[in-house]
Amino acid sequence: MKRITSQREFFFSQTLGKPIYDRNGKPVGRLRDIAVRWDNHYPRVTGIKFAKDVQKHIRIGQIEQWDERSIRLNVVFTDKLQHLTEEELYVGKWLLDKQIIDTKGSKLVRVNDIMLAWIESGTAHELILLAVDVGVRGLLRRIGMETLVKGQPQNLVDWKYIKPLESKMDNLRLTLEHPSLKDLHPADLADIIEDMDSISRTHLLAGLDRQTAIEALTEADLDTQVEIITDMDSTSASEMLADMPPDEAADILGELPEEKSSELLNLMDKDEAEDVRELMEYEENTAGALMTTEFISFPADTTAEDCINRLRELKPSTETIYYLYVIDHAEVLMGVVPLRDLIVAQPQTELGSIMRSRVATVRGDDDLRKVQETVTKYDLLALPVVDEQGVLLGIIRVDDVMETVFPDRGGLESFTDFMTHSKSWMRWKP
Amino acid sequence: MKTFKKFNLLLPSLILFLAIMGPGIITANVDNDAGGITTYSVAGASFGLKLLWIFIPMTLALIVVQEMCARMGAVTGKGLSDLIRERFGVKVIMFVMAALLLADLGNTVSEFAGVAASGEIFNISKYILVPIVAFLVWFIVIKGSYKMVERVFLVASALYLCYIPSAIMAKPNWGVVFKAMVVPSFSFSPVYLAMLIGLIGTTIAPWMQFYIQSAVVEKGITAKDYAYSRTDVIVGCFMTDIIAVFIVVACAATLFVHNIQIATAKDAAIALQPLAGRWAGLLFGFGLLNASVFSASILPLATSYYVCEALGFEAGIDKTWSEAPVFYWLYTSLVVIGAGLILIPNAPLIAIMLWSQVANGVLLPFILIFMLILINNKDIMGRFTNSRVFNAVSWATTAIMIALTLLLVVISVFPQLLA
């Protein structure tokens, strides 16, 4: 299992019936079915059935290479094989074509196809069932007519939302109301995207709605972001970047070749491009490089009522709503109003009278350490960045600071870790 | 004291039976649709009582087939299209569903043809009656709750009893009728054979197998209560055929003895008016309208269910239009096309019904073989697989049905062959 495949994700219908060769290139049979063991969220492939009416199967460990054309074994084929055990299931026989039923027991959709994926677990590679294709594309792929709906998005349900079968005849049951890849947390989606090759990524991103795709891309690590943007055509790439938080966009553009990044910037909306350009000027690991220019600010004479109405119109993202910054006509930072104070204030109160004027700030060229210390010391969810004159340039969100503290956030476990950590940050301390 | 005890034992069983009955009886009644009534009438008018003997073996065949479906539904909790898809895969189910869709579109057209025909009996133009009925049928299903729809159908099926007084008022010779029931009279004349096949084809149609199995699943009947469900199936099959027998008898006693030939049920109803008084004609008209409306509402709905469930689209009248768009569009299209074709002047109705008959015929052998494979699969049926005797009976039934439907298809496509 050392040299694994060119293809990391593939569909069951694409691999079914493909020829199997042993180490010497001798034909062994054709892939008739796949055996899995379902003792985790994602069922693991344990073996393949290679001929009709032969109940024994080839173990996954004996497979050297598995791609969409053929399967090659790393041994000379003998018929000393293992039988299916009690815990193993055949994918084609017992999972494919099953009805999927929601939490309330009403019939929903069908397993039209199954997406398999190679994943790394420790040093070993494992082949898992990643998702169920419940869409029209899966249906038509089965009868070899997927090209008819090439442009349509994929309709996949992540396997971890499916309850393990109690008996083989049972329908598959969902653990959530309407889970699909788009309902995954963007950070989980980002993890999946990070593990994929470029072709699968393009497929997956194309299947998501725009907002979800952007959120997932924002959550992905920088290398993945750069790879994805590089693979896209310039127009889509610039649109994608324009919709991302400016700091993330600046980071990505900073990694691209000079020529490419100025091409993309020129395609973007003028104001947005300007924001991103400014951010790109800061050196790496400074407050300026970390900050985003997305923040909420109001003049001091705004009433609490007007302010809340304006927030309703703006619908700002979660990260930015906790602090409302008060600025004067020259955009100099005068104070901050925490969201809580705004909500409990009388409607006609002016922001100037309830703001806190002692605000912890950093300068654009302050280093990372200073940023981390300030955020920790004052228990902040976002830290304002100002220039020499006190003009508010942007804010650094706590999650961006966290990423500098835990840079290796990779798997889902550390994500959970992150969530539990951030909970204490969420607790409001005025 | 003893009788009291017996009563105590009987009562819970009776209550249980009443709770479980329904699927078999509804299916059986939908089976006596406009096409069925037409065929039975023509059989009675053209051959008198000569074809009456077929009803006993046909009832047995119907019971054998329907019972297997009800049993599969109760044991697996899954519809027939589910089982076929899971066992035989996408390609097979797509073929089956395409044929079923074609066949049922044709069947729906003939239901609306029945509505139009009954309109002529009441002197209502089909251009008024058919759109109204189509809209009502569509509206009841889209807006009404499922429970209400089911109750409407159950009450409506009692109207079939209209055929019995209609036949009695025609005053047939009952001694001759009973003899014709049990003594087979076979003929190799092509017209006779065509009529025989037509009778069987209209009584044992593919959609019924899907329908009864889904109805059993829908009702939540399990293997434990299955014995009662079997009674329901048997009662339903007898009801279908008893009503069919009365139609044949009524037509034989009036039209056949006076040598009046008919082409459709409409002619049959008109011919009954002078012979058995004005009430017989009215009853026939009401019966035809009820049968047509009943089947016109169930068939498109049921067909949309199977197609959507089999192919994995959301389905069900408890879902909204946006949750199950394919289901609702399919249902609406079937009703609109089915009713619309009737309203086109000079529409090729005969050709449409002919091809739907062919689709039915092509489909039935496949369905029967799939059923027999499924019901003998221990993984699926556990200890409820067919017994050896039952298998012998059901394979024999299947073989005869296949031979007859193949013959039906052949003479539908090449009518000159037997002429």
Token pair, residue A129, equals 């069932």
- CA angle at residue A8 from A6 to A11, to 5 degrees? 115
3-state SS string for A244-267: CCHHHHHHHHHHCCHHHHHHHHHH
**What is the DSSP secondary structure assignment for residue B252, as one 8-state letter?**
I
CA A131 to chain centroid: 15
pLDDT tens digit string along B28-59?
777 777 778 888 888 888 888 888 998 998 89
CB contact under 8 A, A139 and B312: yes
Residues whose CB is less than 8 angstroms from the CB of residue B287 and which lie 6 or more positions away in sequence, other chains included: B37, B159, B160, B162, B163, B166
d(CA A126, CA A45): 7
Helix B55-76 / helix B349-375 crossing angle, nearest 10 deg? 60
**DSSP 8-state symbol, A365:** T
Domain A184-281 classified CATH 1.25.60.10?
Answer: yes
Q: Where in chain A is the domain with CATH 1.25.60.10?
A: 184-281
Q: How far is the alpha carbon of A1 from chain B, nearest alpha carbon, in Å?
A: 32
> Which residues of chain A have a CB within 8 Å of the CB of B309?
99, 107, 110
Residue B297: CATH number of its domain: 1.20.1740.10
Task: Please name the residue that has the structure tokens 């048997």.
Answer: B234
CB pairs < 8 Å spanning A and B: 44
SS3 content of chain A, % helix, strand, coil (to 5): 40, 25, 35
- What is the CB-side half-sphere exposure of residue A1 using CA atoms within 13 A? 14
Distance CA B301, CA B318 (A): 13
- Axis-axis angle for helices B325-343, B277-311 (nearest 10): 140
ipTM over 0.85: no
pLDDT for residue A232: 80
Joined tokens for residue B417: 């062959």
Total number of domains constituting chain B? 1
Which H helix or E strand runs over B271?
Answer: helix B265-275
Tokens of A394: 């942007």
Q: What pLDDT, on a 0 to 100 scale, did the predictor assign at position A199?
A: 61
Non-local (6+) Cβ contacts of B315 within 8 A are A107, B304, B305, B308, B309, B324, B326, B327
Three-state DSSP class for residue B80: helix
Structure confidence at residue B267 (pLDDT): 67
- CA dist list (Å): A422 to A16, A66, A292, A426, B160: 45, 41, 19, 6, 70
- Say if strands A88-90 and A82-83 run parallel, antiparallel, or are unpaired: unpaired
Domain range spanning residue B131? 24-417
pLDDT of residue B138: 86
Q: Which helix (H) or strand (E) holds B254?
A: none
Average pLDDT score over residue span A163-191: 68
One-letter amino acid for residue B12 of the chain: P
Rounded mean pLDDT, A5-30: 79
- By C-alpha distance, which of B76, B63, B61 is closest to B385? B76
Instruction: Give the DSSP letter of residue B417.
Output: G
**Amino acid sitting at position A4:** I
Q: Of A46-55, A289-298, A313-322, A327-336, give the range with the top mean pLDDT.
A: A327-336
pLDDT at residue A427 in the model: 30
Taking an 8 Å cut-off on Cβ atoms, the answer to whether A112 and B315 are in contact is no
Q: Which residue of A has its CA nearest to B89?
A: A97
Instruction: Inspect the interface and report whether the beta carbons of B313 and A109 lie closer than 8 Å.
Output: yes
Specify the pLDDT at position B219.
Answer: 78
Q: Can you tell me the distance from the alpha carbon of B303 to that of B335, in angstroms, rounded to the nearest whole number?
A: 11
Residue A320: pLDDT above 80? no
Share of chain A above pLDDT 90, in %: 0
Q: Which residues of chain B have pLDDT under 50?
A: 1-6, 274
Tokens 């009788």, residue located: B3
Residues of B with CB under 8 A from a CB of A: 76, 78, 82, 85-86, 89-91, 94, 309-316, 318-319, 379-380
d(CA A101, CA A85): 27
Residue with tokens 């239009």: B321
Q: How many other C-beta atoms are found inside a 10 Å radius of the C-beta of residue A429?
A: 10
Question: What is the predicted pLDDT for the residue at A2?
Answer: 37
Residues from chain A contacting residue B380 (CB–CB below 8 Å): 169
User: pLDDT value at position A276?
Assistant: 81
- Residue A429, pLDDT > 60, answer no
**Which pLDDT value is given to residue B144?**
62
Q: Which amino acid is at A321?
A: I
On whether residue B11 sits in a domain, the answer given is no
Q: How far apart are CA A237 and CA A257, in angstroms?
A: 14
Query: Residue B128's CB: how many other CB atoms inside 10 A?
Result: 10
Q: Which residue has the higher pLDDT, A74 or B412?
A: A74
Residues in chain A: 430
Looking at residue B336, what is its pLDDT? 93
C-alpha separations of B185 from B47, B69, B182, B258, B396 in Å: 11, 32, 9, 21, 21
Q: Give the homologous superfamily in CATH for domain A9-182.
A: PRC-barrel domain (2.30.30.240)
Q: Which residue has the higher pLDDT, B272 or A282?
A: A282
Contact A319, A396 (CB under 8 A): no
Cα atoms found within 13 Å of the Cα of residue B263, Cβ hemisphere only: 2
3-class secondary-structure state, position A322: coil
User: Rounded distance, CA A201 to CA B61, Å?
Assistant: 56
Angle formed at CA A196 by CA A194 and CA A201, multiple of 5 degrees: 95
Average pLDDT over residues A241-264: 83
DSSP string across A367-426 = BHHHHHHHHHHHT-SEEEEE-TT-BEEEEEEHHHHHHHHSTT--SHHHHHHHHHHHHHHH
DSSP, residue by residue, A210-253: HHHHHHHHHHS-HHHHHHHHHHS-HHHHHHHHHHS-HHHHHHHH
CB contact under 8 A, A110 and B311: yes
Q: Do B85 and A110 touch (CB under 8 A)?
A: yes
Interface test with B, best of A11, A98, A99, A156 (most B CBs within 10 A): A99
- Mean pLDDT score, A343-360: 87
Tokens of A342: 């705004």
d(CA B6, CA B276): 46
What is the residue-wise DSSP string for A157-198? EEGGGEEPPSSTTSPEEESSSS--GGGS-HHHHHHHHHHS-H
Where is B170: in which H helix or E strand? Answer: none
Distance from CA of A119 to the nearest CA of B (A): 29
CATH code that applies to domain A297-424: 3.10.580.10
User: Mean pLDDT, to the nearest integer, of A60-85?
Assistant: 78
A299 contact partners, CB below 8 Å, separation of at least 6: A326, A327, A328, A329, A351
Contact yes or no for B315 and A97 at CB 8 A: no
The span from the CA of B31 to the CA of B36, in Å, is 7
Contact B352, B106 (CB under 8 A): yes
Burial B74-83 (b: 16+ CB within 10 A, else e): bbbbbbbbbb
Token pair belonging to A161: 């939302």
Given this model, what pLDDT does residue B8 score? 53
Q: Which residue of chain A comes nearest to B378, CA vs CA?
A: A169
Q: Of B294, B104, B57, which Cα lies nearest the Cα of B206? A: B104
Say how many C-beta atoms besides its own lie within 10 A of residue B341's C-beta: 18
Question: Between A415 and A208, where is the model more confident?
Answer: A208
Distances (CA, A) of B149 to B120, B162, B319: 27, 22, 15
Give yes or no for a contact between B356 and B110, defined as CB atoms under 8 angstroms apart.
yes
Q: What is the pLDDT of residue A152?
A: 72
Distance from CA of A213 to the nearest CA of B (A): 24
Residue B144 lies in a domain: yes
